[in-house]
Amino acid sequence: MFNQDTFLDYLKQIKKKLGKKVVMFTDREQKTEHQSNKVKKYLKENNDSVRILYFPKGSPEFNAVEEC
């Protein structure tokens, strides 16, 4: 099951695997897993190395997953 904890674990694994600076593009998840307080806290504490940028609302052409 995907939730804020699994997303947070994913962010930590990406940071560990890819190194010092990571920029991740994601959608604005309606269920708020991507924007939960836990995730926001982690991002704030690691803002020098992990950053999330969100696709603009109503722009599925930027998200390759939307094509599937």
Q: Can you give the pLDDT of all 68 residues of the chain as single tens digits?
A: 778 889 899 999 998 898 788 898 887 765 567 778 888 899 999 999 999 888 777 776 776 666 65
Alpha carbon separation from 14 to 11, 30, 53, 58, 62 (Å, rounded):
5, 22, 15, 27, 21
**How much is the pLDDT for 66?**
60
**How much is the pLDDT for 9?**
93
**How much is the pLDDT for 67?**
61
**How much is the pLDDT for 7?**
87
Kind of pairing, strands 22-26 and 50-54?
parallel
> What is this structure's pTM?
0.70
